[in-house]
Amino acid sequence: MKQTKAFLSSKKLVAPDVAHMFFYVEGEGFEFNPGQYVILTVPNSPTPLKRLYSLAGTNSNKNVFELLIKFVPGGVASEYIRSLKIGDNIDISGPAGLFSEQKTPSNKVYMVTGTGFAPIRSILASKDHLTTNRSLFWGLKNLSETYMFEELFSLKHSNPSFTFSYCLSQQDSFSSIPADLLQYYRSGHIDTVWDSVKPIVKPEDEYYLCGSRTVIESLRLLLLSRGVSKDRLFFEKY
């Protein structure tokens, strides 16, 4: 697998503990398929330590890649990444992973938690046009954890076949949200919100799940029990 040095070129906190980061790769750069991840080497750890991070942006520029990182308090890689300054370099290898979108005209349903949005963002950003129906259910705890609303909103407006909902498990009041935007914010876990839209599971629909291991496993079992076939269910567990 290819080893690469990448330089941090931009870092923006998009939620209290989540950073959207851009890295620059010199020379020929590297290519990836949307949905894949990189393997980060954490230096100076007592034992050699590797952590996986999904590529979060378009694959159109071989010299730039994006990551969406949740800083887990006390996490070894999280603290290392949090300390990075613009111009610092990191060692990565990759790309790796088989999570990717099928090139079919089928409806796509994305169910993600937290930074599990990263590979879906890459899939969406790497397309010129969104021609098939796509709906995103993004599980987070509360409004303060939500991010990238403007981006999703503008994607929806340029692609009527795309819809999205933040599924907020610990938010009951939405009084701070303007009435015309309330449709994008739902109270409850992903499965509850998905149920509330009264889904009709069609045999050809495809489901893409990514994020927290336990949530993804329970969603996977739920979808199987609702008749989604195994070969239309794609998942990446963090």
Ligand X SMILES: Cc1cc2nc3c(=O)[nH]c(=O)nc-3n(C[C@H](O)[C@H](O)[C@H](O)COP(=O)(O)OP(=O)(O)OC[C@H]3O[C@@H](n4cnc5c(N)ncnc54)[C@H](O)[C@@H]3O)c2cc1C
Interface residue list for ligand X (CB under 6 A) = 37, 51-54, 68-70, 72, 74-78, 97, 115, 118, 236, 238
Rounded least distance, CB 50 to ligand X, Å: 9
Rounded least distance, CB 155 to ligand X, Å: 19
With respect to ligand X, which residue has the nearer C-beta, 100 or 107? 100
Q: What is the DSSP string of 6-56?
A: EEEEEEEEEETTEEEEEEEE-TT-----TT-EEEEEETT-SS-EEEEEEB-
With respect to ligand X, which residue has the nearer C-beta, 120 or 193? 120
Rounded least distance, CB 53 to ligand X, Å: 4
Q: What is the DSSP string of 185-236?
A: EEES-HHHHHHHT-----TT-EEEEEE-HHHHHHHHHHHHHTT--GGGEEEE
Rounded least distance, CB 104 to ligand X, Å: 23
Residue 73 burial (C-beta neighbours within 10 Å; 0-12, 13-18, 19+)? exposed
Q: Are 64 and 23 in contact (CB under 8 A)?
A: yes
With respect to ligand X, which residue has the nearer C-beta, 67 or 223? 67
Rounded least distance, CB 24 to ligand X, Å: 18
Rounded least distance, CB 11 to ligand X, Å: 14
Report d(CA 97, CA 210) in Å as an integer: 13
With respect to ligand X, which residue has the nearer C-beta, 118 or 155? 118
> Which residue's Cβ lies closest to ligand X?
75
Taking the alpha carbons at both ends of the chain, their separation in whole angstroms is: 21
Rounded least distance, CB 238 to ligand X, Å: 4
With respect to ligand X, which residue has the nearer C-beta, 37 or 164? 37
With respect to ligand X, which residue has the nearer C-beta, 122 or 165? 122
Report d(CA 109, CA 105) in Å as an integer: 13
Among residues 18, 12, 15, which one has the least CA distance to residue 145?
Answer: 15
With respect to ligand X, which residue has the nearer C-beta, 170 or 183? 170
Q: Characterize the bridge pairing of strands 233-237 and 206-211.
A: parallel
Report d(CA 153, CA 88) in Å as an integer: 33
